[in-house]
Structure 1
Amino acid sequence: MGLVINRSLLSTRRLSVNLVTYPEGHRVRRHNDPMGDGSYYKLNFVVIKPAEGGIFKTDGAIFSLFNRVILFRPDLYDHSVSTIKRGKRVLLSIALHAPWGSATLL
């Protein structure tokens, strides 16, 4: 499995923007991202889609457009990416850790 390249474009206490390149052979196992207090939102843009594999799955998306633009709560819902079998996956990820709300399901 190759090296994931994570370039931080912006990083503050509440907001981060990253350009992430996942190589062929990589996958992201099913997990969630607990944040403690507040709410955690991610808006992901798939800039380069692999030729085969690399499919994002989540138990709950707020919004998804052709599985290329996805808004979801990584603190509440498990998510994963299948093995990239051919090509690479490049993702622009915008994350917001908001002070309101709770990380519990209603």
Structure 2
Amino acid sequence: MLEKNKQIVLNGKDALEVLADIEFILISLHKMGSYYADKPVEDYRKATTDFIDNEKVTQRLAKVRKIISKNFDSTLGDDDMDDIERHLEKIKFWKP
């Protein structure tokens, strides 16, 4: 990891924006899980899918990622990857 990337600083406005989106998604999903705990799983699945689509959860998460990653130094290492790429390369993404 580059020395510059060992400490990343977010300004207060950005940090609050990230926290608001995370809180909205996390608490909403928690409340949905509690509400649908004793209801048919199909209703829960539809509600969560609708929530993700209607509340633009993927766009919100993309914004969070952009805010957090914008302050990283993206200088490429000997492996032609920056610190973020290198750290995220081990993620096992969903596949159909």
Task: Flag the structure with higher helix content.
Answer: 2
Q: Same fold (TM over 0.5)?
A: no
| TM-score category of the 2 structures, normalised to the smaller one | under 0.3
Q: TM-score, normalised by structure 2?
A: 0.25
